[in-house]
Chains A and B, each alone.
Chain A
Amino acid sequence: MATDSSTLIGKSVRELRALLTSGSVSAREILQDHIQHIERFDPELGAFNCLTTHLAYEQAEKIDALVKKREPLPALAGVPVAIKDNICVPGYPATCSSKILQNFVPPYSATVIERLGASGAIIIGKTNMDEFAMGSSTENSAFAPTHNPWNVKKVPGGSSGGSTVAVAAGFSTLSLGSDTGGSIRQPASFCGVVGMKPTYGVVSRFGLIAFASSLDQIGPLGREVEDVATCLQVISGHDKRDSTSLPFCLPTQSETLASGVKSMRIGIISELSGQGIDDDVRCSLKQAGETLQSLGAVVDEVSLPNSKHALSVYYLIATAEASANLSRYDGVKFGLRNQEADDILSMYFSSRSDGFGAEVKRRIMLGTYALSSGYYDAYYKKAQQVRRLIKQDFDRAFSQFDLLICPTSPTVAFELGAKTADPLQMYLSDIATIPANLAGIPGISIPCGFSQQRLPIGLQLLGPALADSKLLAAAYAFEKATQFHTVTAPVLTASAKH
């Protein structure tokens, strides 16, 4: 164990790498400290569904062997990474925080897990989420809700609440989430960390248990933009096992990250910056615009007139796709099966009734309805048409602006239970993040201030498709200028104070 083990919590990728290379700590020690930190603080926060301890120690040993042989270390050597529980790590359950998949252990690895492994990352555990990624508060987990490390009475956001809390609380350096309508960016904003949804197709979806296939995208979460950029570099790239994966390689982040925002044209989305946005949030956004301007960007207002339809479009397309994606949980081959059922229909009905939670059932019904004969044209087809209009809004905006900004979420983290009775209020939490998924463009949420209650506020930056590197560069410049990332949740430093 390192002489002052507590200092290993909260380190950046760059810092861990320096420690490992100098030989002052081992990957095993880094891992041990993180597991200890998790064991101490996660019972209160509930970020993890399970730890992948055995795998993690195996991976750490490999890194330590490399260090011993003085061989070059890969990009994420010894870096603890937490994985959302809808991404397949072979040999460990992939539950999607659902009863129906509670005992499902995939025999195969998601492409992102293979790539993390090859880059020396330490997979530390599987994180809690809204069941099948359906939700915005991680309260829809079939197991237990996850709590916000800034204030345990508040939600961490969702659906990637567990992965977000893992980095915010120092349980891991990085984590992977999935973002279908804001499920990485919205919790990142609630927990004061950096979360990115890459361009659709930049990261392979192979091994990601689908919610809505045309919207789902895996992305990294971290405490600093540079860490997130490094992680994206590792997990991105074409994968022949995913037909929607783009034959495209991101430019090397280390070369582009410091390129700044000088003379970038940045548009503030007017529809997502005024009405319905909390005062604290609006105030932070205004300051963020000024900061960017002071860094040399040209900031102006831009209109996305069809963005007001995004929520309705999203809840038709996402639920339609989900209704088919979730059909396979029928009790026949894997997952929960009601043993009392005495014929096939009652087996389907009872297994699915017992296995799915209320929000999942609500969305399956909504999606089934949207695709039904007689309603298809009015709902699903219309939604696809409006989706194209939303895309065109972005195309127009990006002909004038390099990047767009708006708040990640209209509010800061809300109380647990505050919105569980009103699905529509919960859905509105994603109003600013959903358009990016519908258009397939990249988006990132970075800390941009605090509310009067000392809860983090997130700034969302959006770029045109494949401008992921530009987005990271702007986020990096903003982070450098504001240093909000240095203010962390109390639990992160609790181990040190102890």
Chain B
Amino acid sequence: MNYEPVIGLEVHAQLKTKSKIFCGCPTDFGGTPNDHVCPVCLGLPGVLPVLNRRTVEFAIRSGLALNCEIAEVTKFDRKNYFYPDLPKDYQISQFDEPVCRGGHLTIAGKKIRIHRAHLEEDAGKLVHAGAAGLHGSEYSLVDFNRCGVPLLEIVTEPDIESPEQARLYLTELRNILRYIDVCDGNLEEGSFRCDANVSVRPVGQKELGTKSEIKNMNSFKAVQRALQSEIERQIAVLEAGGRVVQETRLWNEATGTTFPMRSKEEAHDYRYFPEPDLVPIVIDRKWVEEIASTLPELPEQRRSRYVSQYELSPDDATVLAESKELSDFFDAALSIGTPAKAAANWLMGPTIGYLNENKLGFDSTKITPENLRDLTAAVEAGTISSTTAKQLLLEILASGGNIANLIAEKGLVQISDEKGLTEIASKILIDNASQLESYRAGKSKVRQFFFGEVMKATKGKANPQIVNKILDELLTQNT
């Protein structure tokens, strides 16, 4: 029998406000444990939460970017469960009146519907001694720095049809949140976390199969692998005549499999009820309009603009638009006259290569749009070779500078003087008589050797096209 998976994703995106959602503590990652805390986020007796309005603004901003309806009135609720990383033993979250409902985003032509997005506070972090978890450890310590950091939980409808689609959705969602500047999307620091719900059903069947929830995936690749593994497991269970059990499973990166979480830990009745310490928030339509008017161009719009306006391929457009900083730079370089194709090539090739190699973000480079314009112009004019240009680009990315000055200072101007280059090439042929002989004997590869020698003699500055032309002439002449 053929099966098809049905996948829904829940993302917890940390909103990059300066202070926490219900107190004034900083949201900075790390820091000395229990340094970014106060009586409010520690849940000491007698203190009260006060909503950071900025978090609502960020939620609205996200909702608008994801085509959601923004609630007229929204409220907070208490989600009750005991856990030592949760100081009040309830989490302030949103139950039945979230800020955002009913949106969608599009990946590769497929619409993924978004069920809702709501605000909540993050919990602290446990560190265990002698075991991986709370159970079996000798003792556990808790760091409340992360406690009260604002999160936006974004939940999809079960619209995702494959692990690959799940990865694309996450990439696009993270991209959007970065574009609108509400989340830095840093997976290592936990500012973008994902849980997945997955079930399988025979192709053609309408009703959904029993789902499992998968947690503990720390990269988009892990999400894709975990889903693949879980889909295969569920199909194997069904094929063997068994039944899938509704449960929470944890992904084990090392073994590449999911395993069930202890049932005791997931048996929760959260007993939601309205948070009486906070009042409902009326979201003024004017406020929503104001926020909408400040939304930047989103990745999807930008990609289609690149394709239609600059005739880039959809793949190139996707690569460029993946980072807002990089594509903002691309736009800036084009606006001062850099040719689109050349700019795209320099950015996608050597620049992204450099960033990946050094694990850097584009905003940490020193290059200016003028640099890229001058670089492409110099190559176009034949002033420098593309080999030289690449070296120059890497230098500019790392240290900055002025293209014209660097070319002059380092004497990088390309030699296109035909007479001079002919003299150099002739001398090389004479000095390397044995190589010339073997070339004539039919070893055409030796031609490369002569080319290399000419470049060596000119310290790489010879115009390669002209060198080729000269070599062609000299080698035919002497035959």
Q: Check: B189 CB closer than 8 A to any chain A CB.
A: no
The contact string, 1 if C-beta is below 8 Å from chain B, for chain A 78-92, is 000000001110000
A344 touches B134 (CB 8 A): yes
B46 touches A210 (CB 8 A): yes
A320 touches B273 (CB 8 A): yes
Q: How close is B178's CB to chain A, nearest CB, in angstroms?
A: 31
Q: Which B residues between 23 and 80 are near A, CB-CB below 8 angstroms?
A: 39, 42-51, 78, 80
B80 touches A324 (CB 8 A): yes
The distance in angstroms between the C-alpha atoms of A207 and B40, with both chains bound, is 11
Q: Check: A47 CB closer than 8 A to any chain B CB.
A: no
A106 touches B46 (CB 8 A): yes
B271 touches A209 (CB 8 A): no
Q: Check: B143 CB closer than 8 A to any chain A CB.
A: no
User: Known: A243-B51, A321-B276, A332-B142. Contact between A207 and B46, CB under 8 A?
Assistant: yes
Interchain CB contact (< 8 A) of B87 among A241, A333, A368: A333
Please report the total number of A residues contacting B with Cβ < 8 Å. Answer: 44
A328 touches B87 (CB 8 A): yes
Q: Check: A343 CB closer than 8 A to any chain B CB.
A: yes
Interchain CB contact (< 8 A) of B90 among A86, A241, A324, A333: A324
Interchain CB contact (< 8 A) of B39 among A107, A320, A343: A107
In the assembled complex, which residues on chain A have CB atoms less than 8 Å from the CB atom of B47?
Answer: 108, 206-207, 241
Q: Check: B135 CB closer than 8 A to any chain A CB.
A: yes
In the assembled complex, which residues on chain B have CB atoms less than 8 Å from the CB atom of A320?
Answer: 273
The distance in angstroms between the C-alpha atoms of A241 and B38, with both chains bound, is 13
A371 touches B80 (CB 8 A): yes
Q: Check: B89 CB closer than 8 A to any chain A CB.
A: yes
In the assembled complex, which residues on chain A have CB atoms less than 8 Å from the CB atom of B140?
Answer: 344
A327 touches B89 (CB 8 A): yes
Query: Once A and B bind, how many residue pairs between them come within 8 Å at the CB atom?
Result: 102
A373 touches B271 (CB 8 A): yes
Q: Check: A334 CB closer than 8 A to any chain B CB.
A: yes
Interchain CB contact (< 8 A) of B273 among A206, A210, A244, A324: A324
In the assembled complex, which residues on chain A have CB atoms less than 8 Å from the CB atom of B279?
Answer: 243-244
Q: Check: A205 CB closer than 8 A to any chain B CB.
A: yes
In the assembled complex, which residues on chain B have CB atoms less than 8 Å from the CB atom of A87?
Answer: 46
User: Known: A108-B39, A327-B82. Contact between A101 and B277, CB under 8 A?
Assistant: no
The distance in angstroms between the C-alpha atoms of A343 and B78, with both chains bound, is 26
The distance in angstroms between the C-alpha atoms of A87 and B39, with both chains bound, is 15
B276 touches A213 (CB 8 A): yes
B48 touches A106 (CB 8 A): no
In the assembled complex, which residues on chain A have CB atoms less than 8 Å from the CB atom of B45?
Answer: 88, 94, 96, 101, 104, 106, 209-210, 328
B90 touches A327 (CB 8 A): yes
A327 touches B88 (CB 8 A): yes
Interchain CB contact (< 8 A) of A334 among B44, B51, B78, B142: B44
Closest to A201 in B: B279
Q: Check: B339 CB closer than 8 A to any chain A CB.
A: no
B269 touches A241 (CB 8 A): no
Q: Which B residues between 65 and 113 are near A, CB-CB below 8 angstroms?
A: 78, 80, 82, 84, 87-90
Interchain CB contact (< 8 A) of B276 among A94, A96, A106, A214: A214
Q: Check: A242 CB closer than 8 A to any chain B CB.
A: yes
A344 touches B84 (CB 8 A): yes
A373 touches B273 (CB 8 A): no
The distance in angstroms between the C-alpha atoms of A101 and B45, with both chains bound, is 9
Closest to A335 in B: B45
Q: Check: B379 CB closer than 8 A to any chain A CB.
A: no
The distance in angstroms between the C-alpha atoms of A206 and B39, with both chains bound, is 11
B88 touches A243 (CB 8 A): no
The distance in angstroms between the C-alpha atoms of A380 and B45, with both chains bound, is 24
Q: Check: A208 CB closer than 8 A to any chain B CB.
A: yes
User: Known: A243-B277, A372-B269. Contact between A88 and B46, CB under 8 A?
Assistant: yes
B46 touches A348 (CB 8 A): no
Q: Check: B278 CB closer than 8 A to any chain A CB.
A: yes
Q: How close is B296's CB to chain A, nearest CB, in angstroms?
A: 32
The contact string, 1 if C-beta is below 8 Å from chain A, for chain B 270-287, is 011100111100000000
The distance in angstroms between the C-alpha atoms of A87 and B46, with both chains bound, is 8
The distance in angstroms between the C-alpha atoms of A104 and B43, with both chains bound, is 13
In the assembled complex, which residues on chain B have CB atoms less than 8 Å from the CB atom of A107?
Answer: 39
In the assembled complex, which residues on chain A have CB atoms less than 8 Å from the CB atom of B49?
Answer: 243
B48 touches A241 (CB 8 A): yes
The distance in angstroms between the C-alpha atoms of A244 and B278, with both chains bound, is 6
Q: How close is A86's CB to chain B, nearest CB, in angstroms?
A: 8
In the assembled complex, which residues on chain B have CB atoms less than 8 Å from the CB atom of A240?
Answer: 50
In the assembled complex, which residues on chain A have CB atoms less than 8 Å from the CB atom of B142?
Answer: 332
The distance in angstroms between the C-alpha atoms of A199 and B370, with both chains bound, is 65
In the assembled complex, which residues on chain A have CB atoms less than 8 Å from the CB atom of B134?
Answer: 344
The contact string, 1 if C-beta is below 8 Å from chain B, for chain A 324-343, is 10011010111000000001
The distance in angstroms between the C-alpha atoms of A333 and B34, with both chains bound, is 12
Q: Check: A110 CB closer than 8 A to any chain B CB.
A: yes
The contact string, 1 if C-beta is below 8 Å from chain B, for chain A 451-477, is 000000000000000000000000000
A343 touches B135 (CB 8 A): yes
Q: Which A residues between 232 and 285 are near B, CB-CB below 8 angstroms?
A: 240-244
Q: How close is A83's CB to chain B, nearest CB, in angstroms?
A: 12
The distance in angstroms between the C-alpha atoms of A106 and B39, with both chains bound, is 9
In the assembled complex, which residues on chain A have CB atoms less than 8 Å from the CB atom of B277?
Answer: 210, 213, 243-244
The distance in angstroms between the C-alpha atoms of A320 and B276, with both chains bound, is 11
The distance in angstroms between the C-alpha atoms of A96 and B88, with both chains bound, is 17
Q: Which B residues between 107 and 157 are near A, CB-CB below 8 angstroms?
A: 134-135, 140, 142
A328 touches B271 (CB 8 A): no
The distance in angstroms between the C-alpha atoms of A88 and B40, with both chains bound, is 14
User: Known: A244-B279, A371-B271. Contact between A94 and B88, CB under 8 A?
Assistant: no
A373 touches B46 (CB 8 A): no
User: Known: A243-B278, A330-B82, A373-B269. Contact between A209 and B46, CB under 8 A?
Assistant: yes
B50 touches A243 (CB 8 A): yes
The distance in angstroms between the C-alpha atoms of A104 and B45, with both chains bound, is 9
B271 touches A368 (CB 8 A): yes
The contact string, 1 if C-beta is below 8 Å from chain B, for chain A 212-245, is 1110000000000000000000000000111110
B50 touches A241 (CB 8 A): yes
Q: How close is B90's CB to chain A, nearest CB, in angstroms?
A: 5
The distance in angstroms between the C-alpha atoms of A380 and B87, with both chains bound, is 25
In the assembled complex, which residues on chain B have CB atoms less than 8 Å from the CB atom of A106?
Answer: 39, 44-46
In the assembled complex, which residues on chain B have CB atoms less than 8 Å from the CB atom of A380?
Answer: 273
The distance in angstroms between the C-alpha atoms of A371 and B88, with both chains bound, is 17
Q: How close is A208's CB to chain B, nearest CB, in angstroms?
A: 6
Q: Which B residues between 159 and 181 are near A, CB-CB below 8 angstroms?
A: none
In the assembled complex, which residues on chain A have CB atoms less than 8 Å from the CB atom of B135?
Answer: 343-344
Q: Which B residues between 273 and 323 are near A, CB-CB below 8 angstroms?
A: 273, 276-279
Closest to B142 in A: A332
Residue of A244, A323, A327, A368 contacting most chain B CB atoms (<10 Å): A327
In the assembled complex, which residues on chain B have CB atoms less than 8 Å from the CB atom of A328?
Answer: 43, 45, 87-89
Closest to A371 in B: B271
The distance in angstroms between the C-alpha atoms of A403 and B198, with both chains bound, is 61
What are 30 residue pairs bridging A and B, where the CB atoms are less than 8 Å apart in the complex? A88-B46, A94-B45, A94-B46, A104-B45, A106-B46, A107-B39, A108-B44, A108-B47, A206-B47, A207-B47, A210-B45, A213-B276, A214-B276, A240-B50, A241-B47, A241-B48, A243-B278, A244-B279, A324-B88, A324-B89, A324-B90, A324-B271, A327-B88, A328-B43, A333-B87, A343-B135, A371-B80, A371-B271, A371-B273, A373-B271
Q: Which 9 pairs between the two chains have the least Cβ-Cβ distance?
A: A327-B89, A213-B276, A371-B271, A214-B276, A209-B45, A209-B46, A373-B269, A88-B46, A207-B46
